[in-house]
Structure 1
Amino acid sequence: MTKPTVAFICGSIREASFHRRIGKAIADMVSDRLEIEEVAIADLPLYNPDIDNDDRPEAWQTYRDAIEGKDAVLFASPEWNRSITGALKNAIDVGSRPYGKGVLIGKPCAVFSTTPGSTGALGGSLAILPCFKTLDMPDMGQPEAYYGGISDDKIDLDGTIHDNGLRKEVSRFAKAFASHIEQMVRGGSEHAG
């Protein structure tokens, strides 16, 4: 049986982002169960319905094609001004259109947040939830994942986690995410993309 495929959408466009590092760690932890691939969002033009036609930006179509064939989505949501980043909101907008035909609609998903600060970017994770509801994306409710106090000495650029507590928390989330996606996809859910 083939592994479910997952589009990883990192809301931080920084190359050395802690979100990207955690995403790599999750992908590695569940590589025997899920195939997780990052879908880049940094070069997406702002969504504008006036140009969402046969001449739409090539970057939009490339992004949509990369998500369309995936079974699920894993979001990493930084917190900017108690909400999600502009890049992440734009990626959701591009993936939700054309109206009623968006590639994100109905795909099972989960979200995690991280920050060097103490709150774990909680605001970013909470602010994305209405998007999931609007797009009928069944999200994994538990465990919630807000990783605070992240630093370079805790996790490398390649996703290797050196902090035992962080590794345990991320592993718990990764395993639950894999189970959520397997259940949604293999269970024949009407939501599975």
Structure 2
Amino acid sequence: MAKKTIGLFVGSLRKDANSKKIAKNLIKMAPEDFEFKVIEIGELPLYNQDFDDDNEVPASYTTFRNEVENLDGVIFITPEYNRSVPAVIKNAIDVASRPYGKNVWNAKPGAVISSSSGAIAGFAANHHLRQSLTFVNIPTMQQPEAYLGHLNTESFDENGLFKDKGTYGFIQKFVDAYIVWFYQLTK
């Protein structure tokens, strides 16, 4: 059986971002029949409908749309910026949902992990992101919800892996639940 490919969309462009470290943990947690891989979104120009209307689509849009189309599922890992998602995630959603009628996100099983250094753990970003995902028809896993709060450089070891066994265990349960849910949706 071919491996199922799950795209990880990281919402922070910062080189040492906690979101990138969370993605690194997810990659290690993927079962043998799945490949989790980070899909780069930082180089996409801001979405502009004129590109599609005037047939001047940037090569990065075409590459990205093709990459998303070939994914079996998606997981978004987002920090919270001003009680919402970072622009880079919203832009990626917009690019791959256009032009109208050619939404390559359609029906891909999705999930959301939010994080912050604060106590509310990206709650607002998580729920704001879910609104956009609903509109582009990404069915999003509801349970368990994943909000990782109080993250900082001390939360990870020198390899970017969770130091706290409880956090690691929780995210492993999240991955396991996603896999079960993925198969329920795609059978």
Tell whether the structures are fold-level matches, with TM greater than 0.5: yes
Q: Which residue of 1 aligns with 2:73?
A: 72
Q: How does 1:11-90 map to 2 (within 5 A)?
A: 11-52=11-52, 53-90=54-91
- Divergent runs of 4+, >4 A: none
CA distance in 2, matches of 1:179, 1:74: 14
Q: State how far apart, in whole Å, the 1-side matches of 2:120 and 2:33 are.
A: 30
Aligned residues: 186
> Does the Cα contact within 8 Å between 1:24 and 1:158 map onto a contact in 2?
no
Aligned equivalents of 1:178, 1:49: Cα separation in 2: 35
Cα contact 1:11–1:88 (8 A) shared by 2 = yes
TM-aligned CA deviation for residue 158 of structure 1: 4.1
Gaps of 5+ in 2: none
Are 1:103 and 2:104 counterparts?
Answer: yes
1:136 positional shift: 1.4
Q: Partner amino acid for 2:163?
A: H
Determine helix, strand or coil for the equivalent of 1:5: strand
- Between the aligned partners of 1:168 and 1:14, the Cα distance in structure 2 is 26
* Structure 1 CA distance for aligned equivalents of residues 155 and 46 of structure 2: 34
Distance change (3 Å), C-alpha of 1:181 and 1:50? same
- CA root-mean-square deviation: 1.4
The one-letter amino acid of 2:14's match is R
Query: In structure 2, what residue type is equivalent to 1:15?
Result: K
User: Identity of aligned pairs, percent?
Assistant: 34
User: Equivalents in 2 of 1:115, 1:99: separation in Å?
Assistant: 34
Structure scoring higher RCO (CA < 8 A, sep ≥ 6) equals: 1
State the match for 1:169 in structure 2: 170
Q: CA deviation at 1:30?
A: 1.6
* Structure 1 unaligned blocks of 5 or more: 188-193
Cα deviation digits, residues 20-39 of structure 1 (max 9, x gap): 11111112112424211111
Post-superposition Cα deviations, 1:76-108, rounded to whole Å, max 9, x if no partner, equal 121111111111111110011111212112211
Moved more, 124-133 or 28-37: 28-37
